Amino acid sequence: MADIPTLELLDGGRIPAMGLGTSKHKGVEGAALFARAIEDGYRLIDTAAQYGNELSVGQGVKDSRVEREQLFITTKIAGGDQGTGATTHGLEGSLRRLGVDYVDLTLIHWPNPSRGLYLQTWEELIKLRERGLTKHIGVSNFLPHQIEELEAQTGVLPVLNQIQLSPIIARKDLRSFHASKAIVTEAWRPLGPVENLLGQVLVENIASEVGKSPAQVVLRWAVQSGILPIPVSSKPQRNAENLQVFDFELSDDHMRALDLLDTSDRFVWDPMSHEEW
């Protein structure tokens, strides 16, 4: 079983340095996949109301027989649950479906700026944290000016921003902003399937040199860059393999070469126009 290090959150908490994404899986098969991943060593499990799989995640947690206190469960407030009152209803619904009394981290899934409700949602999440329904609060797919607004209006920064990120979508400016605020950068789609990242000759060559898979090379790039990746796979063996990135390091030359794959924001879903409910 992999020994997963942790990262410090700005509120003093700690979070595993890699997690399991769950967005594509649900039902009985999903529950079995999640239970197996937990048994294989995953402790950070990332879900969302919008994924429609919180019941399966909850069942997987139960079936894994790992104590709840050993797990770090993240869920997200959907666009339709933003705003005063609705946010509480949304999180309470997530807790019921997950079968837990609290989650470790609750994120606002997308800012959905056309609704103008993310500040209200943030204010309510602060209260829900005080009630103990969530230990930590953060955001997903937010831009710097939106995070600065949350801080200016409430005095509370998100501990984490989960964003689309891979070597091809490196988001360097946003990561620098996060670092200046001690916000953890978490990556969804860290293996960049849309950009055919794992098929890049450079990635394959580095994998051959270090005796690891292309996916492990890319995930190691994230870890060494201070990024928390949450890869998704339907294959238990692949999930287990993805965890095996804490027993080797990439050289400075490897890291620089992978950094050069960045295509800026070419493949990014723009959170000023892309909204989800």
Q: What is the CATH number of the domain that holds 31?
A: 3.20.20.100
Does residue 203 form part of some domain? yes
Does residue 216 form part of some domain? yes
Does residue 268 form part of some domain? no
Does residue 271 form part of some domain? no
Quick check: 234 pLDDT over 70? yes
Q: Looking at residue 215, what is its pLDDT?
A: 97
- Range scoring the smallest mean pLDDT among 42-46, 100-104, 158-162, 270-274: 270-274
Separation of alpha carbons 245 and 210, rounded Å:
11
Position 196 confidence tier, pLDDT thresholds 50, 70, 90: confident
Does residue 12 form part of some domain? yes
Q: Looking at residue 192, what is its pLDDT?
A: 86
Domains: count for the chain: 1
Separation of alpha carbons 255 and 257, rounded Å:
5
Quick check: 269 pLDDT over 90? no
Catalytic residue among 42, 51, 102, 118: 51
Quick check: 266 pLDDT over 80? no
Average pLDDT, the chain: 96
Separation of alpha carbons 22 and 33, rounded Å:
9
Quick check: 109 pLDDT over 70? yes
Residue 229's domain comprises 6-259
Give the residue-averaged pLDDT of 249-269: 91
Q: 20 or 271: whose pLDDT is higher?
A: 20
Does residue 275 form part of some domain? no
C-alpha to C-alpha distances, 67 to 95, 106, 239, nearest whole angstrom: 17, 20, 20
| pTM for the model | 0.96
Give the residue-averaged pLDDT of 265-272: 81
E strands present in the chain: 6-8, 14-16, 20-21, 44-46, 72-77, 103-108, 134-140, 160-164, 184-188, 227-229
Does residue 147 form part of some domain? yes
Position 52 confidence tier, pLDDT thresholds 50, 70, 90: very high
Residue pair 231/215 in contact by the 8 Å Cβ criterion = yes
Residue 118 annotated in active site:
no
Position 194 confidence tier, pLDDT thresholds 50, 70, 90: low
Does residue 269 form part of some domain? no
Q: Looking at residue 265, what is its pLDDT?
A: 72
Q: Looking at residue 2, what is its pLDDT?
A: 66
Give the residue-averaged pLDDT of 217-235: 98
